[in-house]
Amino acid sequence: MPVEPQSAPAVATLYERVGGSPFFEALVDRFYAGVDTDPVLRPMYPEDLTASRRHLALFLSQYFGGPPVYGQQRGHPRLRMRHAPFAIATAERDAWLRHMRAAVESSGAPGDAIEEMLRYFQMAANSLLNRLG
């Protein structure tokens, strides 16, 4: 009787490893708690942060292996285009990263997941720089 080849076990996505949507919703809540009181970043956001929170949580969930809800609702992320109207120099990037790093590091995620998220956020923040200074 022939032996069936065994497929490699599926590798869990970061989304699955950290607990799915609830993790990203809590991460985004912690991030926006910092943004809400930041004198550099707060003026860049709308008064009501509800939609911003939802969009970021959906985007991060999808990016890190969750369901494609963000893409279904908002299309391609087009991060550079969506952020082009905002002056993002090193002060804005650094403030954004400070709040996101604090949110990630206080998340309780496993160390490898924290490292993966921080690598992505560093790359993404650098890619959105659009002003000198």
pLDDT band at 133 (very low <50, low <70, confident <90, very high): confident
Measured over the CA atoms of residue 86, residue 61, residue 25 and residue 19, the dihedral's sign is negative
Alpha helices in the chain (DSSP H): 14-18, 21-35, 50-63, 69-74, 79-83, 90-105, 111-127
Q: Tell whether 132 is covered by a domain.
A: no
The Cα–Cα gap between 33 and 116 comes to: 22
The CATH number of the domain where 60 resides is what?
Answer: 1.10.490.10
Question: pTM for this structure?
Answer: 0.90
The Cα–Cα gap between 41 and 89 comes to: 11
The residue type at 115: E
pLDDT at 33: 98
Query: What's the mean pLDDT in 16-45?
Result: 97
Residue-wise pLDDT for 31-69, tens only, equals: 999 999 999 999 999 999 999 999 999 999 999 999 999
Residue-wise pLDDT for 62-111, tens only, equals: 999 999 999 999 999 999 999 999 999 999 999 999 999 999 999 999 99
Q: Tell whether 5 is covered by a domain.
A: no
pLDDT band at 10 (very low <50, low <70, confident <90, very high): confident
The Cα–Cα gap between 57 and 17 comes to: 16
Q: Tell whether 2 is covered by a domain.
A: no
Please report, to the nearest 10 degrees, the dihedral formed by the alpha carbons of residues 115, 31, 89, 122 taken in order: 10
Q: Tell whether 77 is covered by a domain.
A: yes
Q: Tell whether 70 is covered by a domain.
A: yes
User: How many domains does the chain contain in total?
Assistant: 1
